[in-house]
Homo-oligomer: A and B are copies of this chain.
Amino acid sequence: MRKAATPLHQRGPMPHSLDVLTLGNAIVDVIARTDEAFLLAQNVHKGAMQLIDEARAEQLFAAMGPATIVSGGSGANTAAGIASLGVRSGFIGKVRDDETGRHFAHDLRAAGVHYDVAFAGDGPATARSFILVTPDGERTMNTYLGACQNLTPDDVDDETVRGSRFVYLEGYLWDPPAAKEAFRKAVRIAHEAGNRVALTLSDPFCVDRYRDEFLGLMRDGSLDILFANIHELQSLYGTSDPETALAALRGEGVLGVVTRSADGAFVVTREETHAVPAHPVEAVVDTTGAGDLFAAGFLAGLSRELDLVDCARLGGLAAAEIITHIGARPQANLRDFARQAGLLDGMT
């Protein structure tokens, strides 16, 4: 396998400067512990992500408890997880040139993620997600998209996409109108270069908003890999039966990766189905980022050509770390964890 340290100019044809490039909303998380009564009083849907405007953001912030501020954003969390596993990752997403945006950019780069999208010099503030964590560890997200609405195809650098073995896209990117075009541009360039494209469905309500478009992407050949949790998958196929949803996914001809929280994950293709148990966790503190980090482990495994079961085990291991603390970025070196679990021995 090619050493990561090999300088670009010494590489052979079709060099990949990144293993995984993720595209997503660039968001900083504002996290507070709360109780069920507060969720009811604020009329928010537990466990989901709802979009809010600036006025609602201010109102919710004033009402919520003391906040811990950490960088987030689904695709950015995945990129940070991949880097923590010692695998080369990059991120495309838009922030403003404000304190929050500088914090976001710093955290990605400090995590070892390639990030060079230009900051917006005007327009709305950097996106923030007000995340309420209940005592059971469940997170409920209220997202002000702000500067994410200014992501355009110009922010998608052709060379970076061509040089990335995998491109991973958030379903959430369908929310800011202009981002959709950035998303389509990335798919086109990636496939022209022979690279693979993955999408995560992000959230059951997000699937509700864009069901036909997501099914269309899978069926027109835009996607090679689909990540979803079982609720999102059921929403995609409009069924209350998990088995029906899984059977439908098997028929799509993509690699399907379906998480089921503590019940582990399924990896499905037209030919194979693997059930992989979840990684054990002592106490769940905050589930924010569990899906993002599962995808990180899985994609890191794929880029290292692990078999599908080991990819899912690596996903489970990364997800297990993230739910033991507040925030959706790794607080431990995931590569060490993976080595201890015998999953990344011999990785270069």
Contacts and interface: CB of A to CB of B under 8 A. Distances in A.
Interface residues of A, number: 24
A80 B67 CA distance: 13
A70 B68 contact: yes
B327 A67 contact: no
A69 B69 contact: yes
Interface in A33-79: 33, 61-62, 64-71
B71 A107 contact: no
Interface stretch (A97-105, A219-227, A256-264, A292-300): A97-105
A209 interface: no
Contacts of A65: 110-111
Contact of A100 (B33, B99, B327): B99
Contact of A99 (B66, B98, B110): B98
A68 B106 CA distance: 12
A329 interface: yes
A244 interface: no
A240 interface: no
A178 to B, nearest CB: 25
Interface of A: 32-33, 61-62, 64-71, 80, 98-100, 103, 106-107, 110-111, 327, 329, 331
